Amino acid sequence: IIATIFIRNSIVVQSIKFKRYLPVGNPEITAEAFSNWGADEILLIDISATKNKKSIDLDIVEKVASKCNVPLTVGGGISEPETIKSVLEAGADKICINASILDGKNCVKEGSKKFGRQCMVGSIDFIKQNDQYFVYDYRSSSITDKLLTDALNEYVDKGCGELLINDVTRDGTQIGFDLESIRDVIKNASVPVIWSGGAGRPADFISALKNNTLSGVAAGNIFHFCEHSISLVKSQVLKSVNIRYDTHLNYSDMHVTELGRVSKLSETQLESLKFENLKMEKI
């Protein structure tokens, strides 16, 4: 389970269908919380970098990396091998690239030769129309004529060792992952795939992971504003899917709602938690 941190003009935001952005807070603080709550990986993406014709701020990468105890994947305006090197040196474990591949640049191919295919993640945004999947260009907010299946092969041929597939239509909606789309896309992928877009409750993660061959699912919006949210989700997923759960936070003896919230304890349980008042012993 991968925790996504979208930053826009250096501020963490919640993304809704790639159109609306709600401010959340500081990237460093968010990364530390997600790491402590048990995320298996953190995905840090600067969604404004390419539009501003720059790459992600290395200072932000360094600060976020210093708080991460899990692998860190970084993306945002990365289009040159030199930038890949700088981002990796700043603390990233993997590089996520989107726009430069759409533009036909050889950044990924050169990066995979220098640093290894295992650290090159190709990010593909898509929209489903008439039972077909088309690549979406977030810069112009437009649907391209490129089919997602063609993009999968193209990105792998260019050197991507992993793919991040973003369902634009479901981004930030919290209505669940599109399981049909996942099945259709996965069968055409020759490298590990991470799916993003639509997570709203623990059951959504279970559905996506249980009956598919995804290597991971990514989510961001539902993890904000709720302490230990990742641990809560993982505690429920673990009941159906074998995943890593080594956080010290334990919810095994608590009732968690469908929305991933801990139910109020019974009066008997609350009573047992009260402090016992002991009188001072006289010697």
CB 184 within 8 A of CB 193: no
Does residue 59 have an active-site annotation? Answer: no
Distance CA 93, CA 119 (A): 7
Instruction: For residue 268, count CB atoms less than 10 angstroms from its CB and return exposed for 0-12, middle for 13-18, buried for 19 or more.
Output: exposed
Distance CA 204, CA 200 (A): 7
C-alpha distances out from residue 124 to 53, 106, 160, 278, Å: 19, 16, 11, 62
What tokens appear for 160 in the block? 């991507």
3-state secondary structure at position 170: helix
Nearest to 100, CA basis, from 116, 119, 84: 84
Kindly name the residue from 46, 125, 167, 171 that is annotated as catalytic. 125
Distance CA 79, CA 98 (A): 9
* H or E segment to which residue 31 belongs: helix 27-36
Query: Could you tell me whether strands 72-75 and 120-129 are parallel, antiparallel, or unpaired per DSSP bridges?
Result: unpaired
Task: Name the residue type at position 144.
Answer: T
CB 37 within 8 A of CB 228: yes
* H or E segment to which residue 235 belongs: helix 229-237
Distance CA 30, CA 261 (A): 19
What tokens appear for 107 in the block? 């950044």
CB 136 within 8 A of CB 142: yes
Q: Report the catalytic residues.
A: 125
